[in-house]
């Protein structure tokens, strides 16, 4: 006979606060750096979107650096590194394809 538990199933959630403390500023900066890095990385190879890639990369890189400086948990640091790399590569491709202005 199969064993069952009486616990209700919870949905999967991304858990940034692995130390069970709230870090709203650190989480917001980590997610912002990640989103800007992914945006820069995705738009970087597209020649017509060089302005978006350049600005997203240039804004995402210092955001990621500061978020890395104040990060508390490993999840935040992982998002920061992904955002930093994406921002750098996306900004480099955006600048190569035309720079900051159309």
**Chain segment 46-101, per-residue pLDDT in tens:** 999 999 999 999 999 999 999 999 999 998 999 999 999 999 999 999 999 999 99
Provide the number of structural domains found in the chain.
1
The whole domain housing 53 covers 34-96
79 found inside a domain? yes
Average pLDDT for residues 3-24, to the nearest whole number? 75
Helix and strand numbers (H, E) in the chain are 3, 0
How many other C-beta atoms lie within 10 A of the C-beta of residue 59? Answer: 17
> What is the average pLDDT across 7-33?
83
Specify the pLDDT at position 6: 66
Q: How far apart are CA 44 and CA 41, in angstroms?
A: 5
- Cα torsion through 62, 89, 32, 20, rounded to 10: -90
Give the predicted TM-score (pTM) of the model: 0.84
Confidence at residue 1, expressed as pLDDT on a 0 to 100 scale: 54
**Does residue 3 belong to any structural domain of this protein?**
no
Angle of helix 74-96 relative to helix 24-43, nearest 10 degrees, comes to 30
Does residue 13 form part of some domain?
no
Q: Is the pLDDT of residue 30 over 70?
A: yes
């Amino acid at each position: 006979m199969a064993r069952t538990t009486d616990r209700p199933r919870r949905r999967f959630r991304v858990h940034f606060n692995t130390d069970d403390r709230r870090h709203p500023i650190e989480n917001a900066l980590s997610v912002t750096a990640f989103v800007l890095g992914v945006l820069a990385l995705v738009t970087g190879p597209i020649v017509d979107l060089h302005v978006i890639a350049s600005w997203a990369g240039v804004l995402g890189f210092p955001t990621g650096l500061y978020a890395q400086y104040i990060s508390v948990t490993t999840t935040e640091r992982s998002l920061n590194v992904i955002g930093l790399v994406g921002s750098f590569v996306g900004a480099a491709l955006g600048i190569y394809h035309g720079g900051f202005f159309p």
